């Protein structure tokens, strides 16, 4: 197979891993990287300018999530927000109720490693983590959450937090967060959602979701990397994870990155303009890509939720029989497509993705061949035509080279 010729565009279809900074976000950030460089904790004019910009960015970001400015705490991104809420909820519970009863967190088997590996730390803290199964499309059954809460009551364990993601990063499945949050609240248990893949891609409103805490990350919606936030509903406070100068109302110390906060707000505003119209357009192109790849390539199945209303519009995900997913990604790269197998963070590991196995794909002749194509908002018909040519060709080639027995 020849590599893509120099005239053919290289198609970046790995937007769930990260997105390029939008020119509008860069323009908004530039003054705070140059002349308005002040530390927002200071008193003089340059510091006050920075503090004003920081608070304006916080308010604008919060408003787009249906939240109040004082409910949004800036962090270094999704991983920090997820770790903070998990550890913070356990410590909050112990502060409020003492340490005599066992403490538990309930989460799902398809969470990002920021949550699943974050739960390892909880176990080191003497807390317990229960991981709920999902169905074949990656959804948590509300009955299984009720069952886990019943089990906790029966076993005399207190549940400090339920944490279930809003949209999955590998297959795009959207969980029924309003229903899951209501079940938690009926037992008086706080609810967190990792909305890192959802914010800027589908409408996200903290009141409609009914959550007490929500994680977001700017680089997933054309904002800067290394910046995100944790939303904590008014009245739901957790202890800090990072101690120091007392920034972020004492809950997250460290001099704030004003330029990045401003970039996050600008990028989210841009992402939320005609969000639903753009989601419809990208979703239709994604559907054409999926159906053409399936038509043209034997031994390939779609993964995740089949109902397009219950999956992210930008993610097309497949599983390919007798194919090594990493080899497929290398071949796609040479053919002019940036794609991913499993999640970005598990790249380099030969283990099948935990998301795919949780969805019931336990046959090794299938579950090593996962492919995720995540589209940008400005993806064109021509890009889809090129993907529809390149992807089937590379899958066939990867199958020939993978050397699995058929
Ligand atoms: N949660 C989900 C669902 C993600 O997809 C990611 C990143 O891929 C993260 C958390 C981690 O976010 P960050 O890269 O901002 O640390």
- Summarised one tens digit per residue, pLDDT across range 24-61 is 999 999 999 999 999 999 999 999 999 999 999 999 99
405 pLDDT exceeds 70?
no
pLDDT for res 350:
63
pLDDT for res 2:
45
Whether the CB of 196 sits within 6 Å of ligand 1: yes
Q: Whose CA is nearest to atom 8 of ligand 1?
A: 17
| Distance, CA of 330 to CA of 389 (rounded, Å) | 16
pLDDT digits (tens, 9 = 90+) for 260-269: 999 999 999 9
114 Cα: distance to centroid of ligand 1 (angstroms) = 7
Whether the CB of 77 sits within 6 Å of ligand 1: yes
Sheet of 370-374, strands arranged across: 300-302, 315-320, 370-374
Q: Which distant-in-sequence residues (6+ apart) come within 8 Å of 61 by Cβ?
A: 72, 229, 261, 264, 265, 268
Is the CB of residue 175 less than 8 Å from the CB of residue 183?
no
pLDDT for res 406:
45
| Distance, CA of 25 to CA of 168 (rounded, Å) | 25
Which pLDDT band holds residue 404 (cuts at 50, 70, 90)?
low
Average pLDDT over residues 301-313: 95
- Compute, in degrees rounded to 10, the torsion defined by CA atoms 110, 116, 119, 123: 100
| DSSP 8-state code for residue 342 | S
Q: Show the tokens assigned to 57.
A: 């960015």
In the chain, the percentage of residues whose pLDDT exceeds 90 is: 92
Average pLDDT over residues 202-218: 98
Of the candidates 100, 84, 240, the residue with the CA atom closest to the CA atom of residue 158: 100
Q: Show the tokens assigned to 222.
A: 């054309």
| Distance, CA of 112 to CA of 122 (rounded, Å) | 16
216 or 350: which carries more pLDDT confidence?
A: 216
3 pLDDT exceeds 80?
no
Q: Facing residues of 318 across strands? A: 302, 371
Is the CB of residue 177 less than 8 Å from the CB of residue 142?
no
pLDDT for res 239:
97
pLDDT digits (tens, 9 = 90+) for 83-126: 999 999 999 999 999 988 899 999 999 999 999 999 999 999 99
Backbone angles phi, psi at 379, to 5 degrees: -60, 140
187 Cα: distance to centroid of ligand 1 (angstroms) = 29
pLDDT for res 403:
72
Whether the CB of 165 sits within 6 Å of ligand 1: yes
pTM of the model: 0.96
374 pLDDT exceeds 50?
yes
Q: Which distant-in-sequence residues (6+ apart) come within 8 Å of 186 by Cβ?
A: none
Backbone angles phi, psi at 337, to 5 degrees: -135, 125
Which pLDDT band holds residue 346 (cuts at 50, 70, 90)?
very low
Which residues are known catalytic residues? 345
| Distance, CA of 275 to CA of 222 (rounded, Å) | 14
**SS3 of 175, please?**
coil
Could you tell me the CA-to-CA distances from 11 to 323, 334, 379, 387 in Å, in that order? 22, 11, 9, 8
């Amino acid at each position: 197979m020849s590599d893509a010729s120099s005239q053919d565009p290289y198609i970046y279809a790995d937007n769930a891993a990260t997105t390029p900074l939008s020119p509008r976000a860069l323009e908004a950030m530039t003054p705070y990287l140059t002349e308005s460089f002040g530390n927002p904790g200071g008193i003089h004019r340059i510091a006050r300018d920075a503090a004003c910009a920081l608070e304006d960015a916080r308010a604008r970001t919060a408003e787009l999530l249906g939240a109040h400015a004082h409910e949004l705490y800036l962090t270094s991104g999704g991983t920090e927000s997820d770790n903070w809420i998990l550890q913070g909820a356990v410590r909050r519970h112990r502060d409020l109720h003492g340490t005599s009863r066992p403490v538990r967190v309930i989460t799902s088997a398809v969470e990002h490693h920021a949550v699943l590996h974050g739960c390892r730390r909880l176990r080191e803290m003497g807390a317990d983590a229960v991981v709920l199964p999902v169905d074949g499309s990656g959804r948590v059954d509300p009955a299984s959450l009720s069952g886990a809460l019943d089990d906790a009551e029966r076993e005399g364990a207190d549940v400090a937090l339920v944490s279930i993601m809003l949209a999955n990063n590998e297959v795009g499945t959207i969980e029924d967060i309003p229903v899951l949050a209501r079940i938690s609240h009926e037992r008086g248990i706080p609810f967190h959602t990792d909305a890192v893949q959802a914010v800027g891609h589908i409408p996200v409103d903290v009141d409609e979701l009914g959550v007490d805490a929500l994680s977001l990350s700017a680089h997933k919606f054309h904002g800067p990397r290394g910046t995100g936030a944790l939303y904590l509903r008014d009245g739901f406070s957790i202890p800090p994870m990072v101690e120091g100068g007392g920034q972020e109302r004492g809950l997250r110390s460290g001099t704030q990155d004003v330029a990045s906060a401003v970039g996050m707000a600008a990028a989210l505003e841009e992402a939320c303009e005609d969000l639903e119209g753009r989601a419809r357009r990208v979703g239709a192109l994604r559907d054409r890509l999926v159906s053409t790849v399936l038509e043209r390539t034997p031994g390939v199945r779609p993964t995740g939720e089949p109902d397009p209303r219950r999956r992210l519009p930008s993610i097309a995900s497949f599983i390919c029989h007798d194919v090594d997913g990493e080899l497929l990604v290398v071949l796609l790269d040479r053919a002019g497509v940036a794609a991913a197998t499993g999640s970005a963070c598990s790249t380099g590991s030969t283990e099948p993705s935990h998301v795919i196995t949780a969805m019931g794909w336990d046959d090794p002749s299938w579950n090593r061949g996962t492919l995720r194509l995540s589209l940008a908002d400005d993806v064109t018909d021509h890009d889809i035509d090129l993907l529809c040519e390149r992807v089937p060709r590379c899958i066939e080639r990867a199958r020939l080279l993978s050397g699995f027995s058929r």
